[in-house]
Chain A
Amino acid sequence: MTAFRSPAGGRIDRSKPIRFTFDGRQMHGHAGDTLASALLANGVHLVGRSFKYHRPRGILSAGPEEPNALVTIDRGGGRETPNLRATQVELYEGLVARSQNRLPGLRFDIGGINNAFSRFLGAGFYYKTFMGPQALGGAKLWARLFEPAIRRAAGLGRAPAGPDPDRYANRFAHCEVLVIGGGEAGLAEALRRSEDPACRVILCDEQAEFGGWMLVEAPERADEMVKALSARPNVTMLRRSQAFGAYAQNFVAIAQQLTDPLATTDAEAPCERLWQVRAGEVVLASGAIERPLVFPDNDRPGILLAGAAETYLRRYGVLPGRKIVILTACDTAYGAAFALQDAGAEIVAIAETRAAPGAGDIAARALARGIPVLPGTTILGTTGHLRVSSVRLGRIRPDGEAEPSGGFTADTVLMSGGWTPSIHLFSQTKGKLRWEEGLGAYLPALPAPGQAIRVIGAAAGEMPAGMRSPALGALPVAGSPDRVKAFVDFQNDVTARDLRLATREGFRSIEHVKRYTTTGMATDQGKTSNLNSLGIVAAETGRSVPEIGLTTFRAPYTPVTFGLFAGQARGDLFDPVRRTPMHDWAERNGAVFEDVGTWKRAHYFLPRRPVDATASGHAAMHEAVQAECRKVREAVGLFDASTLGKIEFVGPDAAEFLERAYVNPVKGLAVGRCRYALLLNEAGFIIDDGIIARLAQDRFHVTTTTGGAARVFGMFEDYLQTEWPDLKVWQTSVTEHWAVIAVQGPRSREIIADLVEGIELSDAAFPHMAVREGRITGTPCRLFRVSFTGELGYEINIPAGLALPLWEKLAERAAEFGGGPYGTEAMHVLRAEKGYIIVAQDTDGTMTPEDMGLGWAIGKKKPDFIGKRGLMRPDLTASGRKQLVGLVAEDRSRVLEEGAQIVPDILAPAGSHAIGHVTSAYSSAALGHGIALAVIEDGRNRIGQLLHIPMERETIAVRVVEPVFLDPEGARLHG
C-alpha cells in the first residue's frame, strides 16, 4: 500500500497493481488511476517547473483544465508525446513519464534563476526588450542575450525528433443529437433523447468512464445510467473522446483516444480517431471548472483545488495530504473537508473569504466536527521549498486590505474560488453570452444564427447556491500587492502584479491585456485563470467585467496532436501522384523524375548511373542533358508530353468560344490546321498558352500547360456557364485520355513514317502546324506536326492505355538512329535556344503578349476577347515595359542564374533600381555557350547593349541579344 492511498473506496481496482516510472523512479498505482492520482498516492506533488520562472509546480486539478502537471509520456519505439496532462493520462503497466522544463532535474533546476530575475520578466518583457532604444542595445540585446537564454530555460516539453510511428484514423458521423459531456446532465439528456429509437444519439466524454462528478459522489447512479444507455442500439458512446472544436451548422470535431491503456492493443491499430460529427442538435453538458484563488505564493506544490482533492479521495482513494488548510469562497470545499477528515486527514482550518460563511448550517457542521472556520480570512503567504509547509493567514479589513492573523503548518492547501461554467464550445460557435454577477461568470444566452446548440446543467449555470461565488480576482494582501507573487495564470506564469502593471501602462481591453501579459494564452487557454484575470482588470480599472470584454475561445479546447489532423494523409498518401503511361519505362531507363504539380515527369535520363562516386550529381545531370539535346538536334528525340492539359471543344459555337477566349483568331482556322495560342486574364496578362487544333468545323483539340490544365478548364467553364451561356459548345477534359509522344529532330519523319496509316507525311501534304487523324501501329491517333524544339517534329496523341508499346517501338528505332528519350530539362534548353517562352517561368503574371514579343498572335480585328480591354489600359501600352530578350555573358561559357537582377551600370550601388531579371538560363549544347532569356525594361531597344548582373562576389557583364539563338529563319522547323 502506497503512503497516501486510503484503505478503501474509490473506483480503482485494488486487486490490480500497476508499476510505472516518473523521472526514472519506480512507483506503484492501480488500474483505474490516472498518472496524477498515482503520483499523489506516492506522495508526489512536485511534477514540473513553471514556464517562465521555473518555479516548482504541483498537481492543481483533476481534469483537462490542468495548467501545471504537464508530462512527457514515452511509450517506446519513438512513441513519445510531450505536454500531456497527468490528470488525463490513464495509468498502465510500465508507463514511463518524464517531467518537463527542468535542467538538470526537477528537484534542482538551474532555470530557477529566472525566478530570481522575475522582476525583469514581468508583463510586456518581450515587447519592451524588442522595442528598447538602439543605444541601449534594443533588439540586439534581445537577439544576443535574452532570447538564447530564455529559449533554453523557458518552454514546454520537447517535440519528438523522429517520424510518428502511430496511425491515426478519421470518421465522419451524422446524428440527430450530439451530447457533449457524460456527467449527470449529459447522461440524463442522452437517456431522454434516445427513448425514441429513430433518434441517433452520440454521447462523448473525455474521460475513461462516463459519470463526471457522479463518479465522486454517486458512482452507482452513474453505473445505472451508463448501463441503460449502453443497451440502446441508437446510442453511440464515445469514451476518452474530447469534443475540441464546435463549428458552424452543428459541426463538431472530437478527438478520440483509441488505445485502452489496460488492454493489450495491436501496435498496428490506430491510436486516435478524429470524429467529424454533423448533428441535428448539439447539447453541451460540459459542466463547470473550479476557480483557484489568487493569494501570495499560491503556486506551491501541495496547493490544489478543493474539488480536485475530493475527486482524488473519493474516486481514486488518494489522500493529497495529511494536514490540510482550506481557503474557500464557496460551500463546495466543505464537502472536501468532511470527506478528507473522514479519511483520516487533519483539517487544520477552513479560512473563509466571505464575512458570513456558508449557506445554511454548513459552517456549523464544520465546527461540530472540530474544524475551525475563520470568516473574512485569506492567506497572506505560504512557505515550503518543493512543497507547501506552512501558511500565514490574514484577516480581511473593511478597507480591502488584510492584516496578519496567525498561521499554521500544513502539507496541503485546498482552495475554491467558485465554479466557472465550461462554455468554450458554445462560444466557439459564436453564441451570445451574458454575464452573471452572482456566479462571476459568463453564461450562454443565445445561439448564433444557424446553430442548434443547447447548453444544459452546470455549463448553463444550473448550480446550487453552494457552488456560486463572484469573480474575486486577487485577494487582499498585507501591504503592497506588488511585493508578492500571486499567480493568476499558472501555465504562463502570469501574476496579479503583471495584470495590474498592464492596466497601469494603459491597457484597457482584456484582449490587449491578454496579449501584453500572455494571460490565458497558454495551452490550457486560461481555463482556470480567465475569470480571475477579468476580476483583477475590472477592479484595477474601476469597471464592471462586461465592460472589459471577454477573450474569444478558440478550438481546440485541449491540445490535439498533429497526427490526428493528418490522419492517413502522410507519406505516399499525402498527395495523389500522377504518372504517365511511360513512367515505368522511364524509370527502367534511368529517368530522374521531377515533380510538376502532382505529375512525375522525367527530368533527364541517366542510362548508366555514374560509376565514379566523386562525380557530382550536378555534373552527371549536365552531361545527360547536353547529350539529350544533341540527339534531338542531330538525330531524333522522344519526349513524353502526356502531362499537357488537353481539352476537346465540340459544338456549333466551338470556334466562336475559342475566338472569344484566346487572343488569336480562331474562326478562320482551317480544318486540319493548328495555331499557337495565348490565353490572357481580363487584366491583359498572359496566364497560359498552348495549341489550338481544328479537327472539324465544330471540333477542336486544345492544349494547355501541364500546371495550368485544371485552372484553365475551370476558367472556361466559368465563361461558358456565366458569361456566354448562349453559346452552343461543350468542353471536355481529355488530358488523361490522350498520351502524347513528341518525336523531334531531323530524323523524326523517318522513324514514324512506316508506322502511320492514312496520313500523308510529306511537307506539302502535312506541313508545320497541321493536324490529322489516322492510325499509328494500327491504333487511332491524332497526329500533330508541331515543334517545341525548333526541329522537324510530331506530337502523337494516342489513347493512354495503348501508348506504351508505341513508345517502346519508337525508342528502339530512335536508338538505331543515334537518338533517344529526352527529359524536361533538355526540353527547356531546346525551347530556350529558340526563344519559346514557358508561361510562369518567363512570364510572371504581369506580362502581355507584346512584352513577350508575341503581339503577332493577337487577332487585331476581333471585337473582343478575354483580356482585350485589359491590354488597352494605359500602363499596358506605355513605353518602358519589360520585354523579352536574350542574354549572353561576355564570358560566353558562363551560365547565368535564373532570377538574377540586371542593372545598366557596372558600379550600381546596392539598392539600385533593377531594370530586369533573368528568367531562363542554360548551357546550350548546340551553340557551345551559355544562353539566357530575360525581361528588361525597353529590352528590344537595348539589343547590343552591355548590361551588368551584380552577384554576391562579382558583377557579370552580359550582352543583350535577340531571344532566338538558333535558326531564326525556321529552316529546320519546316523540314
Chain B
Amino acid sequence: MRSDLRQNSPAPVSPKPAPLIRAEHIGKSYTAADGNLLPVLQDISLAIEQNASVALLGPSGCGKTTLLHLMAGFLQPDGGQLYYKGKPLGELHPQTGVLFQSPTLFNWLTVEDNVAFGLKRAGLAKAERQARCAGFIRRVGLAGFEKAYPAQLSGGMQQRAALARILVLEPEVLLLDEPFGALDAMTRRNMHKLLFELRKDIPFTTVFITHDVEEAVILAERVVVLSQRPARIIKEVTVPFTPEESLDVDSHAFADIKKQIRTLLEQTE
C-alpha cells in the first residue's frame, strides 16, 4: 500500500516495465582546490529495476557518493542523462530517501520529532504523524527512546532512527551511503537483518554503497564494481542467493562470490 504522500502519476502501461532508475553515459567532474578539473565519474550506464537491491562497490574516493547523490538529484551530471521511471530526473524527487555516510539526525530534535520531520513538512496533522512515527520507531527497534536526543543514542541506534525518519515517508528508493561503516560487526549484522525484514514488509528499491565485499554480497542481488577514480563500471556481479541464504556468510557459495568480487576489486589497484 502506497501512501498519499506520493504525487506522481501512474507510469504508462508498457509490456516490459522500465527500470526505476536508469543512468546513461553519466559523467561528472569537480573543480579541485587548485582550479583543475577533477574527473570523478566516466561513462556510467546502469539500470536499476523496481524493488532491486544493488550494491556499489569501489575503492575509497572513487566517486561512489557522487554517483549516489546524482541518483538522489542532489547533483546534476555534466554529461549523460539519468531517468527515473523513464522520465529525465529533474529536481530532487520526494520518492528518494538517503541514509548518509555520517549520521545526519537533527541533534536539536528528539527521536520522535526527527522521525516526524518529513511528515510535518508534508503537512500531516499531528495525530496522524504520531501514529505513523510510533509504528516505524517500533519497527526499527527504538520503542522507548522516542523522547531521547540523538546525542544520547549509540551509533547504531542513530542510524536506526535515521532509517525510520526516511522510511516513514515511504520512499520508493532508499539510497544508502556506507551507513553501517562506523558500526561494530554485531551491530552491523543486526542492521542487515533489520533491512531484510523491512524490505519483506514494505518493498522498496535499495541502492547502497559499501567498501565491504561481504556486506555487498549479503545485502545485494547485484554488485556493481567500480574502478579507481575516475570511476567506470568494471563489472556487474549477480548474487544468486535468497535473502536467507545470504545471511549465511560461512557457506562455500558465499565465499566463492566474495572471492570473485575481491579479485575484481584488486584488479582496479
Same complex: no
